[in-house]
């Protein structure tokens, strides 16, 4: 072949190749133009759907504060680690490092992701330590990301745990006031559109779709100083007496505000691993007991209110026992002929029984009902018990007698505290509240004002030298109160070796500023009377609380009985 022919063939081939290139380029340009002009919206939407996401903006829960603005529950920001299984499963080797940091078994982690391979969001671990979160993100594992959340923290720990309750891992209230005020405290999450990179990490916030609304703060009636004092003294008493449990309630009788409430055993809401259902219920609100002799002031009020008795009315309690329908009502000693004041002072079961049998069943029932027994207190606490006060039309004579000294009805510590606020508040019953300056608190007349003042003077004598509540005295302040010691009921009767020890009282006597009830359940280290077990707790808590609230000492001398008599034992 000649050189000219070879040159012609080469030129032809080169032209053909160039033509093909030009045609291909033209086709690509035409296709690009078509897509850019006619398919732009569709393709941009498809691209955005793969790189843009709508994310939730968490809203923090409202803070709970005490009456002085001190924090009791706050929400702190934390990060949770999550993964997109569709991407993360492709980087199985890198998952080992993630599992090690999160202290999760590698195979368990892989299996969890494999089971949710059709999902795009799976939590690997909630609320991790910030240092761990940073180390996880530094691994740059495809599909592994962080999500901002909030964790509830309780500065007082177990001191106020039963009142506050706690939240679940999603920051919703599960117990206590966290549950009662969940709607108020909960925030409303917002949302935003973000741009993610090839590792599914957020690289840019594009737009905010809806702003997050934080929860509202809640101010409680609780005073954290008095709360700590009540918790400390109750715990010490339960340990000292080897008791099964205990409760204490401190209330302002004028406003119905609960200043402190504590229980034993307790729990730490900051450590979820130790939560036990038997420990986190609020016993002061949910658990009932027979109040024993702490009911006697209301029996006396029933007698006075019915017009059948006066404070100076003399009752013959000799020979120290009283037969009622074949049953024996017993006193510790033969107190002889005593007036109503000494019935309270000596905690005479015989005297109380004769008062109860001297009025009609309905009058006795009404006196108990008027001060709140058999009904919830109106505090709004979840799971509150109404106690038990049976229909008076079913009462037999012996039941009327035993009711007069606290057997046959049941109350909660909170109910008993509310009943004593009636005596402290000149006969006015006020609904109880856990919130400061609650506008929904209601009040009603439950007892004649003169009767309430008379009862305060009678109860003041209980802390005198002859009374059963001498250990409830407070230096510089006058104290009115009543001891109670009740056998615990069991199947087939009452257990002679198991007791509930109670003291309910107020101070100062003329203008009571605080009402406190202490209940110690099943003390086992020897002493079991309310005067020896519960009254000292009352004294220590009230002494500190009155001084914290700057209540001036009244220096009213403790009333003394006129005639010496043998000391009553259990009351």
List the catalytic residues. Answer: 293
Rounded to 5 degrees, φ, ψ at 516 are: -135, 135
Answer yes or no: are the C-beta atoms of 356 and 302 closer than 8 Å: yes
Identify the residue whose tokens are 């498809």. 46
Enumerate helices (H) and strands (E) in the chain, giving the number of each.
Answer: 21, 19
Q: In whole angstroms, how far apart are CA 372 and each of 194, 232, 316?
A: 57, 29, 31
CA distance 178 to 434: 12
Answer yes or no: are the C-beta atoms of 332 and 446 closer than 8 Å: no
Residue 148 sits at the vertex; the CA angle it makes with 145 and 153, to the nearest 5 degrees, is: 135
Rounded to 5 degrees, φ, ψ at 560 are: -115, 145
> 121-127 long-range contacts, Cβ below 8 Å, gap at least 24?
121/82, 121/84, 122/82, 122/83, 122/84, 122/85, 123/80, 123/81, 123/82, 124/81, 124/82, 124/83, 124/98, 125/80, 125/81, 126/80, 126/169, 127/78, 127/79, 127/80, 127/151, 127/169
Query: What are residue 350's DSSP bridge partners?
Result: none
Instruction: Give the largest CA-CA distance in the chain.
Output: 153
Concatenated DSSP letters for 80-119?
EEEE-HHHHGGGHHHHHHHHHHHT--HHHHHHHHHHTTT-
Helical spans, DSSP H, in 383-510: 397-404, 413-424, 449-462
CA distance 403 to 291: 10
Helical spans, DSSP H, in 425-483: 449-462
Please name which of 79, 170, 172, 81 lies closest in space to residue 122, comparing C-alpha atoms.
Answer: 81
Coil, strand or helix at 513: coil
């Amino acid at each position: 072949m000649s050189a000219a022919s070879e040159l012609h063939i080469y030129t032809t081939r080169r032209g053909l190749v160039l033509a093909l290139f030009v045609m291909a380029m033209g086709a690509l340009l035409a296709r690009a133009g078509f897509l850019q002009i006619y398919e732009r919206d569709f393709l941009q939407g498809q691209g955005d759907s793969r790189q843009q996401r709508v994310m939730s903006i968490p809203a923090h829960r409202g803070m709970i504060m005490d009456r002085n603005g001190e924090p009791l529950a706050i929400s702190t920001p934390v990060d949770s680690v999550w993964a997109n299984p569709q991407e993360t499963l492709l980087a199985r080797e890198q998952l080992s490092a993630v599992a090690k940091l999160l202290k999760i078994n590698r195979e368990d982690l892989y299996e969890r992701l494999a089971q949710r391979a059709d999902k795009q969001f799976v939590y690997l671990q909630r609320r991790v330590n910030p240092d761990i979160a940073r180390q996880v993100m530094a691994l740059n594992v495809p599909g592994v990301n962080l999500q901002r959340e909030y964790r509830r923290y309780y500065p007082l720990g177990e001191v106020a745990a039963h009142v506050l309750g706690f939240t679940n891992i999603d920051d919703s209230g599960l117990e206590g006031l966290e549950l009662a005020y969940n709607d108020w405290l909960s925030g409303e999450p917002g949302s935003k559109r973000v741009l993610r990179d090839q590792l599914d990490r957020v690289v840019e916030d594009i737009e905010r779709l809806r702003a997050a609304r934080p929860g509202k703060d809640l101010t409680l009636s609780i005073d954290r100083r008095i709360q700590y004092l009540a918790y400390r003294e109750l715990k010490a008493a339960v340990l000292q007496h080897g008791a099964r449990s205990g409760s204490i309630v401190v209330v302002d009788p004028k406003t119905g505000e609960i200043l402190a409430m504590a229980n034993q055993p307790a729990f730490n809401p900051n450590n979820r691993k130790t939560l036990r259902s038997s420990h986190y219920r609020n016993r002061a609100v949910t658990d009932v007991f027979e109040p024993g002799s702490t009911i006697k002031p209301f029996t006396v009020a029933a007698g006075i209110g019915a017009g059948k008795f006066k404070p100076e009315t003399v009752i013959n309690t000799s020979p120290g026992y009283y037969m009622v329908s074949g049953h024996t009502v017993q006193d510790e000693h033969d107190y002889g002929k005593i007036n109503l004041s000494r019935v309270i002072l000596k905690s005479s079961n015989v005297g109380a029984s004769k008062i109860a049998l001297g009025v009609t069943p309905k009058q006795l029932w009404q006196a108990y009902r008027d001060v709140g027994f058999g009904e919830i207190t109106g505090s709004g606490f979840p799971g509150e018990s109404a106690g038990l006060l049976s229909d008076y039309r079913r009462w037999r004579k012996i039941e009327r007698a035993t009711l007069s000294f606290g057997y046959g009805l049941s109350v909660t510590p909170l109910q008993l505290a509310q009943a004593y606020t009636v005596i402290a508040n000149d006969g006015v019953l006020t609904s109880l509240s856990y919130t400061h300056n609650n506008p929904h608190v209601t009040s009603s007349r439950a007892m004649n004002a003169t009767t309430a003042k008379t009862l305060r003077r009678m109860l003041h004598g209980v802390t005198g030298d002859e009374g059963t509540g001498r250990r409830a005295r407070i230096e510089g302040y006058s104290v009115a109160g009543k001891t109670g010691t009740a056998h615990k009921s069991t199947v087939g009767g009452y257990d002679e070796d198991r007791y509930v020890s109670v003291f309910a009282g107020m101070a100062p006597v003329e203008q009571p500023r605080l009402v406190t009830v202490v209940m110690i359940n099943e003390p086992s280290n020897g002493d079991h009377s309310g005067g020896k077990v519960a009254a000292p707790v009352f004294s220590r808590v009230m002494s500190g609380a009155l001084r914290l609230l700057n209540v001036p000492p009244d220096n009213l001398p403790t009333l003394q009985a006129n005639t010496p008599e043998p000391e009553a034992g259990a009351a």
